[in-house]
Structure 1
Amino acid sequence: LNAQVVAGDDKVAMIKLENFGVSKPLVELANSNPQEFESEEKEISKDREKRQVQTFVYSADKDGAAYSTDPSSVQKDAGTRTPLPPIANWQGQTGGGCPPDPSGAAGPNHYIQAVNATPVRIYNKTGTPLVAAFNMGNLWSPTVANLGDPIVMYDKYADRWFLSQFGSGNKIYIAISTSPDPLGTWYTYTYTASSFPDYLKFSIWWDGYYMTANYGGKIMVFERDKMLLGLTARGFEKTFSPTFPSGFFCPMPGDADGGLPSSGTPLPVFQYTDNGWGGGATDAIKIFNFTVNWTPTTPTATVAATITIPTLSAFDSSYDPSWNDIWTPGSTGKLDGIGGVLHYRVQWRKWVGYNTAVMSWGVKLDPTSKRRSIKWVELRQNQTTLAWSVYQEGVYAPADGANRWMESIAMDDNGSIALAYCISASTTASPTQGATANISPSLRYTGRLATDPLGTMGFAETVAIAGSGTGICGGSNRWGDYAQTSMDPDGITFWYTGDYAVTGTRTRIYSFRLPTTPTGVDDIANQPAFTTFQSESMINLSASKLPSDEEMVVDLFDVTGKQINGKKVMPSGNAFQTTINVSGLSSGTYLIRVGNPNFQRVVKVFVK
């Protein structure tokens, strides 16, 4: 196991910016050269060569229950609260790569999805394609190769879109839309890393776009404020020493949602550790806080002392050494359960008085059946003491003998948590897993309200799309390396993209909400409403349909997370009106955060 880093070293290694450009309008690029990407003949990704299996020194079957998943932490009974069906639900791209590895995000009017090797498509929010599918590399001039592991993000704080993929020669390609319209032009950046960035994962933070990958103790940071303006943007690598065994490993940077982290807030990078690794590892979550100083010509970065938070219950994150984990009906072959990593994203949120981080990863329920399911955790950080602790955790595994995996978790503005995932079951699995029915790889979701008993998902499981067939992709056990749940800018609608089976592998895009009413009726009409208008040097803010008359804070931030001013207001009749002084501010986009410990909304305003 790797040793811990010595805190205080601020040296970084700069990443070379090889190329910067501005693309033609995307609508012109896509429609002038329409391409066909859908194919049943899948090319198997070669990235498995870079993903050695982790070493587990101890195991539940040989060394006892201390290395197994604690049965008392498992939610065996599914929730019963009436859910809502998907709002939008359509088939996404398939592409020619195996696995598809879909990534996607929603903006005010668009949804963008990218899949491996690396077609991109832009839809409206009911699923109508707005342009032909296009290769991500076509945004660059000259065109660059399309190798894969795409990431799509919508930077709601700046109202810009973010696309990325890796390339040969250790290349990292990043594109930022020049405006809120993804059909327009894009800034394109090409960087060269010191090693190949397999399984790259990005997050949005106040001072940068942060990236981790499957090379263990290294993080990359890119100069967000410069990228948003289309300026020369620096990037660098910073080494640190997380605890991990040999093999596939990717720590996960916190990805901001809701309000932008305040200026000066260190970025937390998360990992889990498993006592089965040996070497003194325990069942825990570790946090590494990164602080960057962009002021010098060569930036500096420090990593604070490691924070270790024991989980409340034991878990077993081990997986098959040949990645054969998930039974499917009608086949003796199994699918890769993608063990060894936190799943994308680790969503970070700032509330009044505390911060949250929600995360999930795959676990083996017991050493006999080897059935796999999902462990999820909510951490909370006290904003005064800065101490992190486990607020709640659970293992979602209803007693139906099915495997659940390829999940992605997120929390909305009401504090409700959604968990979306793939499910598969086989009544002929050997050894028996107790499946009550055959389930081809399909997509489902569940969730919980903030008031539900801790560690449980209170909503009934909902089918987004039922699969058919085995899901065997290109004759291999490759299924998917990640899926993605992102939040709509409205703060309460979840968007998920992932894989399901139709003969081979398909991707799906769907959205849903978790109703706060006990009847399961969509209460969107009763959600809090905000209106703003500017009168000279004052922004007038009106709020209605608030959840209570409890005291609220009203804070104004810029798009880098710097707080400009703030006040407290006392609603009456679940409403209030107030003004915010914007005298002396530059024209541009700003963020108003309204909230208290039990509620939060972020309102975007444009100051003239």
Structure 2
Amino acid sequence: MVQNKCRISAFFLSPLSILSLATLSSFPASAQDLLLTNPQVNLATHFDVSPPVSELARTAPLPQCPRLIHRVLPPKSRNVAAVAAVDGAIQTGPAPLVSAGVGVNVQGVSMTGSVLNCSNQLGFLVAPPDDNLAVGDTQVVQWVNLCFAVFDKATGAVIAGPIAGNQFWAGFGGRCQSENDGDIIVQWDKLAHRWLMSQNVFSSPYLTCVAVSTSPDATGSYFRYSFPQNNGFPDYPKWGVWSDAYYQHNNAFGGPNGFGSEPCAYDRTRMLKGLPNAAQICFFAPTIFDDSMLPADIDSASTPPPTGQPELFLGSIDNTPPTSNVVYAYLFHVDFSHPSRSTFTGFGGTLPISVPIFTLSCRGSGFGNCVPQKANASLLESLGDRLMYRLAYRNFGDHQTWLVSHDVTTASGQVGERWYEFRAPETSSVPTVYQSGTFAGPPGDTNFRWMGSIAMDKMGDIALGYSFSSRLIFPSINYTGQTVGDPLGTMESEATIINGTGSQKDTGSRWGDYTSMALDAADDCTFWYTNEFYTVTAGFAWSTQLASIKFPNCH
């Protein structure tokens, strides 16, 4: 195979190399850092309307070496704990079998096999997959590194794909068309019944390439835009759909002001209309203490957020490694009519939310390379320094709720899934913890659970999907959940979506870097989850699975 003949290429910056770029980074000493004004405002640098995806020309790929997707470690100190981990929300005791069942359960885009093989489109192998999906009226779109495919929601049958990510930009010209750098996101705008597709360009001049479909059909045409990223390498982009904008966060590296945090808002109204002069409004703070934020993403299509409510971001869980009892909140108020009136609140840790104490996964060591796997000494990354995509939002009318998860170290040493339900009344933008828990299996369990994603249906049932592995188990895909009436802070026992039959090697420990639990707005009951696994022990030969999950009490 080609990986045996090539030197694996990767892009990393060490914490020390970036610290020299971030000398201004510290917690603020004054209230002036509480509120940022004077945003950076940019119009799209290029716009067009694409041909239908189903008509995009296929190009023959040129053979290339395998490569790892770019990723940079935020430059925070890593104080690896020698003492036992602590957890203030660990779930103990047995639980009933999860009541949610699996419906559609099919293979997704993969780097191996004869079906849905992305490497056949690329001409090379890549890791990790960055598993991501969204669910529309009749279709599911899965986008992984570096290809996407469209599936029939009812049957799981493939409608289109796999298609290389930059082939989506065929005819657009420029670096959106020539580059295919990964860290992809696909979203379904549940309020407008449109698709949003995005990936960044990770070499200068940096760009965000984003497209909005002209109809609910993912195989149709798109309004395509490119926007500049002027603050450096825009790493680990995450998106959320809100009523007034499409929101994005990037960890920015190597720009004119060093390392920093960059939240952006995109003019959703103009983009849905296909107007070329859509604006991007961004803030930038040169701080190492505000990073890897998630913007809230609407799941309750029938009950959107209160009018005028700013977008909530959560992040920065690793400011005091290896333990913490805080998740940091941020508020983005955008005004596209008067951009100078836009504000961003919370930089510098000024909006902390208290949570039960936790220890970062792998005790806060780097990206968290401590997850074991069967028949292979290579350890996998948990990425425990950040919250895991998405920040799922729902408005019940009498209260608002946000759900999110991340990876932690349990007292017995394995990695488990910490999850939160935050709530706020209709009159408030900043939530508090309503319930939280750490799911690590029954007492005595030594298996690792990591790389989770969480969401809630219209009844209040919660589904949590994640990777599952140990020295005796190949990396697999499991899920659990909580139904209305279960004790707060607990999950039911887990079930399996698919068992892995191989382990990963020779990929720099990369796993993830995220997975995706999405909700089908058509019934507001059916969850869809995607994650990776291996069928054989190998490097760069991952497969993915996508499955629908539903609780019996949701109709």
Same fold (TM over 0.5): yes
Letter in 1 for 2:78: F
What's the % identity of the aligned pairs? 30
Question: Normalising by the residue count of structure 2, what TM-score does the alignment of the two structures yield?
Answer: 0.82
The alignment of Structure 1 onto Structure 2 pairs a total of residues equal to 485
Partner of 1:209: 246
Partner of 2:104: 88
Partner of 1:407: 452
Partner of 2:11: none
Partner of 1:120: 148
Cα pair distance change 1:112/1:275, threshold 3 Å: closer
Compare CA radii of gyration and give the structure with the larger one: 1
Equivalent residue for 2:436, pick from 389, 393, 410: 393
- Are positions 1:262 and 2:306 aligned together? yes
**Partners of 1:17 and 1:192 within 8 A in 2:** yes
2: CA distance between counterparts of 1:275 and 1:13?
26
Letter in 2 for 1:207: D
Partner of 1:461: 494
- Are positions 1:74 and 2:90 aligned together? yes
1: CA distance between counterparts of 2:194 and 2:543?
28
Unmatched segments (≥5 aa) in structure 2: 1-24, 111-117, 119-124, 253-259
1:84 Cα shift? 4.0
The 5-angstrom pairing of residues 95-244 of structure 1 reads 95=118, 96-116=125-145, 118-125=146-153, 126-140=155-169, 141=171, 142=173, 143-167=177-201, 168-169=203-204, 170-194=206-230, 195-215=232-252, 216-231=260-275, 232-240=277-285, 244=289
Cα pair distance change 1:346/1:401, threshold 3 Å: same
Partner of 1:12: 39
Unmatched segments (≥5 aa) in structure 1: 427-437, 517-523, 528-608
**Partners of 1:274 and 1:283 within 8 A in 2:** no
Partner of 1:377: 420
Cα pair distance change 1:319/1:261, threshold 3 Å: same
Letter in 2 for 1:313: I
SS at match of 2:54: helix
The 5-angstrom pairing of residues 183-582 of structure 1 reads 183-194=219-230, 195-215=232-252, 216-231=260-275, 232-240=277-285, 244=289, 249-258=291-300, 259-274=303-318, 276-277=320-321, 282-296=324-338, 298-304=339-345, 306-317=350-361, 318-321=363-366, 323-366=368-411, 370-384=413-427, 388-398=431-441, 399-426=444-471, 438-458=472-492, 460-472=493-505, 474-489=506-521, 490-503=523-536, 504-516=541-553, 527=555
Letter in 2 for 1:25: P
2: CA distance between counterparts of 1:491 and 1:35?
41
Map Cα deviations across residues 146-167 of structure 1 (whole Å, 9 max, x no partner).
1111101010110100101111
**Partners of 2:98 and 2:494 within 8 A in 1:** no
Cα pair distance change 1:36/1:403, threshold 3 Å: farther
1: CA distance between counterparts of 2:461 and 2:549?
12
Instruction: Give the root-mean-square deviation of aligned CA atoms.
Output: 2.5
- Are positions 1:33 and 2:50 aligned together? no
**Partners of 1:53 and 1:321 within 8 A in 2:** no
Letter in 2 for 1:291: H
2: CA distance between counterparts of 1:263 and 1:155?
17
Letter in 2 for 1:43: P
**Partners of 2:190 and 2:298 within 8 A in 1:** no
SS at match of 2:298: strand
Cα pair distance change 1:150/1:454, threshold 3 Å: same
**Partners of 1:204 and 1:256 within 8 A in 2:** yes
2: CA distance between counterparts of 1:130 and 1:385?
43
Letter in 1 for 2:383: I
Question: Normalising by the residue count of structure 1, what TM-score does the alignment of the two structures yield?
Answer: 0.75
1:200 Cα shift? 0.5
1:2 Cα shift? 3.1
Equivalent residue for 1:24, pick from 31, 36, 51: 51
